[in-house]
Amino acid sequence: MPDKKTTHHYLDGRWIKGQGEPFVSRNPADNRVIWEGASATVAEIVSACDAARNALKHWSSLDFCARVEHILRFGKRVESHKDELALLISLETGKPRWESMTEVAAVVGKIALSIKAYQERTSDVCTQTSDTKSGIRYKPQGVVAVLGPFNFPAHLSNGHIVPALLAGNTVVYKPSELAPAVAQWIIQCWHDSGLPAGVINVIQGPAASAKTLLKQDIQAVYFTGSYHAGLQIHRSFSDKPNVLLALEMGGNNALVIDHVDDTKAAVYHTLLSSFITAGQRCTSARRVLIAKNAAGDQFLECFINATKKIKVGVFTSEPEPFMGPVISHTHAKAHLDAQQALVQAGGNPLIPMTLIKPNTGFLSPGIIDMSLVKNPSDEEIFAPCVQIYRYDDFDNALELANQTRFGLIAGLLSNDPAHYQRFYHAVRTGLVHWNKPTTGAASSLPFGGTGQSGNHRPSGYFAADYCAYPVAIQEQPLLTLPEQRLPGIEL
C-alpha cells in the first residue's frame, strides 16, 4: 500500500504528494492520527479530470468482458486482503470489527451484482427486418465525479464506482475528508488490478475540493450525503441540465410499532433500526411510532431497558461492542446540540444521549419522547438518538409517518397483513420494510428515496441506469433508394 505520509492523490495511474492545505484523519475512539495529507489544489483537480478524459476513449471502447476482467481482479485483491481493509475501516471510523467485516463483504459482493444488473438493465436490444437493424444500445455518460460518504467509506463509494466503470465511464473520486485512508487503500487495489491509467483518479480534501471538482468538464455526479450538501450540488448545476445528478440524501425515517406477538423481536429490530453504526446510516429509524395503549407502554419499557444495555466501545473490546463512536468528536458535539434543541422544543429525554469519553466520538444511545411537541423539527440527526411519537390509532400512525419532507424508508412491525397493505400504499418512501429493520438494505434491489431524500436516481441494483444512457439505432449496411418514394422529388 502507498505511504500515507507521502502519497495523497492518485492521478493518471500515479500516486502524488499533494500541494494543498494539510489535513488529517483521526480515529474517533482516541483521536490518534490515522492518515495525514494535503487537500488537492485546483491544478491537481484539473489534472485528475484531464486524465479521466484522456482515458475515456480507450476504456469505453473496450469490450464489456474486458472491463469485467479488470473489475474482477480488483475484487480478488480486496478479498485476499479483507482483514487488512476491515482493520483500517475500524481504525478510521470506529466501527466494531464485525461491522467492518460486513462492509468489506459488501464491497466484494457488489461486483457480481453490478455485472448482473448491467447485463439485465443495459444490454443491447435489436430487431432485424429485411434491410434494417433497429434497437437500443447504451453508452457511458463520460467522466463522472463520485463524492463519497464517511459512514461506509468503502462500500457506498464502491457502489457508484463499480457500475460506472462497467458501463465504460472514467471516474474522478473525492472521498470524505473523514475517511481518506480507506479510500487510498481501495484505490491501491484498483491500481494493483492493472486498471489502465486515468480510468480512476482520486483527489483528497474537504468540501472545497468537491466544489472545485464540480466546476470541471464532467458529465455526471454521483453523491451520497446530507440533504443540505445535495441541495448545494443541485443548485450548482442549475445552468447545466446536461449533467446527470444522482443524489442520495438521507431521511427522517419512521418505524411504526403495531400489534406484535413477539415483543423481544420487535425490540431487537427497533434497536438495529435505531442504533446500528451509532445511528450513522441514512436508513436509520429516527422516529419510532408507538401506540398509546398498554401494549405500547410495555414495548417502550422494554425498548428503554434494552437500549440501556447496549454495549458501546472500541472495536478491540472483548466481547465485541454493538456500537462504536460517531465519526468525530466535532460531530458528537453537534449531535448533542441537536438533542438539546429537541429538549428545548418540549421533548422529554427518556434516556439522554451523552458523551461517554471526553474528546472522542463515543455517544451513548438516546431516546427522546416528542409526542407532546407541536411542529417538531424535521431534520436528520445522524447519531444514536431516536425520537418517540405516541399515536392514537393506525390512521394516526400513518399520518405521523408521513409528517416529513424526506422519503427514504419507512418500516412497520406488525402481525396484521391488512395493516401492512394500508401502510405500503400510504407511506411516501422509496423503500418499505415489513417486520424487518429499516437498516437492512439489499444490494440486489434499488436504493433511493422520494421527497428530499433523492432525485429519483436510485442506486443499488439500479445504479446501472444512471451510469449509461440509451441510444436508439437504425442501421442499414447498404445505402439504397426505397422502392416507393415520396411525391414531389425528382432524381
Phi, psi of 483 (to 5 degrees): -65, -40
Cell of 219: 458529465
The answer, as to whether pTM is greater than 0.85, is: yes
- Sketch out the chain's domains with CATH numbers: 9-249+454-474 (3.40.605.10), 253-434 (3.40.309.10)
Q: 282 catalytic, yes or no?
A: yes
DSSP letters of 174-235? E--TT-HHHHHHHHHHHHHTTPPTTSEEE---SHHHHHHHHTSS-SEEEEES-HHHHHHHHH
- The percentage of the chain sitting over the pLDDT mark of 70, rounded to a whole number, equals 99
Cell of 163: 457500475
CA distance 324 to 316: 10
The pLDDT value given to residue 127: 87
Active-site entry in 49, 189, 282, 385: 282
Residue stretches of the chain with pLDDT short of 70: 1-6
The pLDDT value given to residue 246: 98
Contact 251, 273 (CB under 8 A): no
pLDDT in tens, 170-200: 999 999 999 999 999 999 999 999 999 999 9
Active-site entry in 92, 99, 103, 248: 248
Contact 47, 12 (CB under 8 A): yes
Q: 99 catalytic, yes or no?
A: no
Contact 275, 321 (CB under 8 A): no
Residue 342's identity, in one-letter code, is: L
The pLDDT value given to residue 461: 96
Please report, to the nearest 10 degrees, the dihedral formed by the alpha carbons of residues 271, 275, 281, 286 taken in order: 80
pLDDT in tens, 13-23: 999 999 999 99
DSSP-based three-state secondary structure for 37: strand
